[in-house]
Amino acid sequence: MHTTFNLTIAQTGRLSSTEPNLQNIPIRTELGKNIRTAFVAEKGNVLISADYSQFELRLAAALSGDEDMINAFNRDADIHVETAAAIYNIKAQEVTKTQRSSVKAVNFGIMYGLGPHALSQSTGMSFGEARDFIKRYFEIRPRLKNILIRCASRLTNRGM
């Protein structure tokens, strides 16, 4: 059995898996654990599980050369907490769930053109707060901003 990874199916732009959708098999419940026992490799073969956790962010960090992001991933740190601490100018252990959640929305959303309107709707921030938040985000991630601008420019120049 081989899943199919799709690059353009999910509305969010994220990678998805179909035939079968292996991403939606629960892992933390007893039912999920039982379902996973149905996957057995043929004799002489092995099953490999690969987690592409935060794939877009890891790729963006590498492409942009953002050393802070790269170092956070290499330390296996929570990139959302690390980014929130930088944006709010606080220690990582002081980051609240709300702060982390807002940064997570931006960390992933920014890859897909998230703007202040969408951020304000998804987090409850005012439009002005969301605009300022994105501005602060790009102040701590200037290399990421540059790579996103370059990618957008290339798409625009190709008529996309």
Amino acid at 131: R
In this structure, is residue 159 part of a structural domain?
Answer: no
pLDDT digits (tens, 9 = 90+) for 43-78: 999 987 766 678 889 999 999 999 999 999 999 999
The mean of the pLDDT values for the chain is 86
Q: Compute the average pLDDT of residues 67-94.
A: 95
User: Do 149 and 76 share a structural domain?
Assistant: yes
Whether the per-residue pLDDT at 121 is higher than 80: the answer is yes
Terminal-to-terminal C-alpha distance of the chain:
36
The verdict on 80 and 143 lying in the same domain is yes
77 and 128 share a domain?
yes
Same domain, 4 and 68: no
Q: What is the DSSP string of 66-132?
A: -HHHHHHHHTT--HHHHHHHHHHTS-GGG--HHHHHHHHHHHHHGGGT--HHHHHHHH---HHHHHH
26: CATH: 3.30.70.370
Q: Domain check: are 25 and 67 in the same one?
A: no
CATH of the domain at 145: 1.10.150.20
Mean pLDDT over residues 24-41, rounded?
A: 84
Domain shared by 37 and 88, yes or no: no
Do 76 and 16 fall within a single domain? no
Place 136 in a pLDDT band, splitting at 50, 70 and 90: very high
Q: How many domains does the chain have?
A: 2
38 within domain boundaries: yes
- Same structural domain for residues 95 and 32? no
Percent of the chain with pLDDT over 90: 43
Q: What is the pTM of this model?
A: 0.69
Q: Is the pLDDT of residue 17 over 70?
A: yes
144 belongs to a structural domain: yes
CA–CA dist 147, 160 (Å, integer): 17
pLDDT of residue 38: 86
Pair 103, 39 in one domain: no
**10/146: higher pLDDT:** 146
Q: Do 46 and 70 belong to one domain?
A: no
> 70 and 147: one domain?
yes
Give me the domain span that covers residue 92.
55-153
Q: Which of 146, 144, 133 is nearest to 102 (CA)?
A: 133
On the question of pLDDT at 18 being above 90, the answer is no
